[in-house]
């Protein structure tokens, strides 16, 4: 999942494609029930805004800031999270 367009023409992309220091909003989490539950329990729910804060030297994991705390997400998991860049 790389990019898609919504009805208003804004681009959706996977979380791993959002550049450093850019802001985004969670649109959908396309994972199995258990992993989606873990992420939603940590605050990644539809509509949540976040900022990409950094990446490890090889790009994995990705660090985002949401709801006042930093969260590291594996790149494979970030590829399954659909976001809207804002």
27 CB-side CA count, 13 A? 21
Per cent of the chain over pLDDT 70 is 88
Pull the structure tokens for residue 62: 């990705």
Q: Which CATH number fits domain 3-85: 3.40.50.300, 2.30.30.90, 2.60.120.260, 2.60.40.420?
A: 2.30.30.90
For the CA atoms of 44, 50, 52, 55, the dihedral, rounded to the nearest 10 degrees, stands at -20
Answer for the pair 16, 62: CB distance below 8 angstroms, yes or no.
yes
Nearest residue to 1 (alpha-carbon basis) of 74, 42, 11, 9: 11
Residue 5: pLDDT above 80? no
Residues with Cβ within 8 Å of 80's Cβ and at least 6 positions away in sequence, in order, are 1, 14, 29, 30, 31
The residues spanned by each domain of the chain are: 3-85
* pTM summary value: 0.83
């Amino acid at each position: 999942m790389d990019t898609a367009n919504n009805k208003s023409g804004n681009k959706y992309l996977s979380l791993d494609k959002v550049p450093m220091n850019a802001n985004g909003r969670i649109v959908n989490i396309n994972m199995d029930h258990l992993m989606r539950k873990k992420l939603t329990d940590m605050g990644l729910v539809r509509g949540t805004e976040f900022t990409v804060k950094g990446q490890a030297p090889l790009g994995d994991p990705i660090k985002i800031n949401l709801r006042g705390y930093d969260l590291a997400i594996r790149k494979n998991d970030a590829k399954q999270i659909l976001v809207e860049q804002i």
